[in-house]
Amino acid sequence: MKAVFDLHARAARFAEDQADWLLPTLARLVFAAVLAGYFWASALTKLDGPFTPSLGAYAQIFPKVFEAAGYDVGQMGLWHRLVVLAGAWAEFVLPVLILLGLFTRVAAIGMAGFVVVQSLTDIWGHGAASGALFDRASDALILDQRAFWMLLLAVLILKGAGPISADRLLGVERTRLAA
């Protein structure tokens, strides 16, 4: 029985030793495979030009305000325009930074904030069903899905970009493995 416990302890130590490089590397790979294209496609729907928000952007980001304005962009203020532009550009820039592994922790914090705002807009602005955590149904589009997104971003916030990254190349982030 002692041999089984020793084998388990060695396997656990090996897994822990790999966590610092493997978890962030896998998190960025999963982000690239699952979320980067989603956010990029979403950003493309928000701009008619680099500094020209689309009508759909106002409808996506400020659904109730845009409806109250009669879907007339001229009724929307400078604040609304700046928020739409910032949101669209965040959907372009933050995923690219994560993919490159450049300023990854800051980009992941920004993406986490973006996901929170996006989720609240979907639930209260668009009236989407939020679902419920711990309800045994794993397919709620808002809470269940976005909880996984936030977990992935939390790995990047806590662990950084990993060894194959611009952060590591530029010395922005030092590895604990080298210490």
Question: How far apart are alpha carbons 117 and 146 in whole angstroms?
Answer: 11
Q: What is the pLDDT of residue 52?
A: 92
| Dist CA 138 CA 158 (whole Å) | 25
Task: Kindly give the confidence (pLDDT) of every residue in the chain, 179 residues in length, as a single tens digit, with 9 standing for 90 and above.
Answer: 888 888 898 988 988 888 889 999 999 999 999 999 999 999 999 999 999 999 999 999 999 999 999 999 999 999 999 999 999 999 999 999 999 999 999 999 999 999 999 999 999 988 888 888 877 776 777 888 999 999 999 999 999 999 999 999 998 776 554 54
* Residue 122 CB partners (closer than 8 Å, separation 6+): 128, 142
φ/ψ (deg, to 5) at 126: -105, -10
On the 0-12 / 13-18 / 19+ scale of CB atoms within 10 A, 155 is: buried
Q: What are phi and psi of 25, to 5 degrees?
A: -65, -45
pLDDT for residue 71? 92
| Residue 163 three-state SS | coil
The closest of 24, 167, 3 to 100, measured between CA atoms, is 167
